[in-house]
A and B are shown apart, each in its own frame.
Chain A
Amino acid sequence: MFKQFEKIFQPKLSEVYKDVDFEKLGVRLHHSISTVFGRSLAVRELDSGSDNATEIELVNLTTPYYDIERFGVTFVASPRHADVLIITGAVTHNMEIAVRKTYEAIPYPKLVVAVGDDACDGGIWKNTYAVNGGADRVIPVDIKIPGNPPAPHEIMLGLLALMEYIKKKKKS
Chain B
Amino acid sequence: MKEFITDIVKYLKLSDASVREGLNHELYVNLAGYEFRNTMELLSKEFSLIAVFCVQNFNGHDGFTLFYAFEQKGRYEVVVFQRPLSSFQATSVADLFPSASWYEREINDGFGIEFTDAFDKRRLFLHEVYPPDFHPLLKAFRNHPIETRKDIMPEQEYRFNEFAGEGVYQIPVGPVHAGIIEPGHFRFSVIGETIFNLEIRMFYKHRGVEKLAEGKTPLECVPVAESISGDETAANATAFCVAVEKISGIDVPPRAWQLRTVFLELERIYSHLGDMAGMITDVAYPVGASNFYILREEILRQNSAITGSRFLKNIVAIGGLKHDVAIGALVGLLKYLKTFPASLKDALDLAYRSPWVIDRLETTGIIEKRLIDPLHITGPAARASGVDTDTRIDHPYGIYSHLPLQKHVLEKGDVMCRFAVKAAEIMDSVQIINDLLIEGIKQGEVFASTRVRDGYALGVVESPRGQTMHWVYIKNGLIDRYKVRTASYCNWRAIEHAIQGNIVPDFPLINKSLNLSYAGTDL
A residues neighboring B (CB under 8 Å):
1, 3, 7, 13, 17, 45-60, 63-65, 75, 77-78, 89-90, 92-98, 101-102, 123-125, 127-131, 133, 148-149, 151
Contact = CB atoms under 8 A, between A and B. Distances in A.
Contacts of A56: 230-231, 274, 311
Given A92-B205, A94-B204, A129 B227 contact: no
Q: Which 9 A-B pairs have the closest CB atoms?
A: A53-B230, A130-B208, A77-B178, A63-B293, A51-B230, A52-B230, A94-B127, A49-B205, A45-B180
Interface residues of B, number: 53
Given A49-B519, A94-B203, 12 more contacts: A46-B176, A47-B181, A47-B182, A47-B205, A49-B205, A49-B207, A52-B519, A53-B231, A53-B233, A53-B311, A60-B293, A96-B148
B176 A51 contact: no
A50 B205 CA distance: 7
Contacts of A48: 183
A52 B180 CA distance: 10
Contacts of B211: 128-130
B230 A128 contact: no
B311 A97 contact: no
B227 A51 contact: yes
Between A60, A94, A149, the greatest number of chain B beta carbons within 10 A of the residue's beta carbon is seen for A94
Interface of B is mostly: loop
Contacts of B127: 93-94
A98 B230 contact: no
B2 interface: no
Interface stretch (B3-11, B139-147, B361-369, B390-398): B139-147
Contact of A127 (B144, B310, B353, B518): B144
B293 A92 contact: no
A92 B204 contact: yes
A13 B294 contact: yes
A47 B229 CA distance: 13
B180 A59 contact: yes
Contact of A13 (B205, B290, B349, B518): B290
B224 interface: yes
Between B207, B231, B300, the greatest number of chain A beta carbons within 10 A of the residue's beta carbon is seen for B207
Given A52-B182, A52-B229, A52-B518, A92 B294 contact: no
Nearest to B205: A49
B62 to A, nearest CB: 24
A129 B138 CA distance: 13
Contacts of B412: none
Contact of B205 (A45, A77, A95, A128): A95
A1 B353 CA distance: 8
Given A56-B274, A64-B290, A94-B206, A128 B212 contact: yes
Contacts of A47: 180-183, 205
A60 B223 CA distance: 24
Given A128-B143, A130-B208, A17 B294 contact: yes
Nearest to B174: A98
A159 to B, nearest CB: 15
Contacts of A95: 175, 183, 204-205
A120 B180 CA distance: 19
A51 B129 contact: no
Interface string B327-361: 00000000000000000000001100100000000
Contacts of B125: 94
B179 interface: yes
A151 B310 contact: yes
Nearest to A43: B180
B374 interface: no
A53 B204 CA distance: 17
Contacts of B141: 129
A37 B20 CA distance: 68
A90 B145 CA distance: 13
B228 interface: yes
A101 B148 CA distance: 17
Interface string B403-418: 0000000000000000
A48 B183 CA distance: 8
Contacts of A13: 290, 294
A94 B129 contact: yes
B350 A3 contact: yes
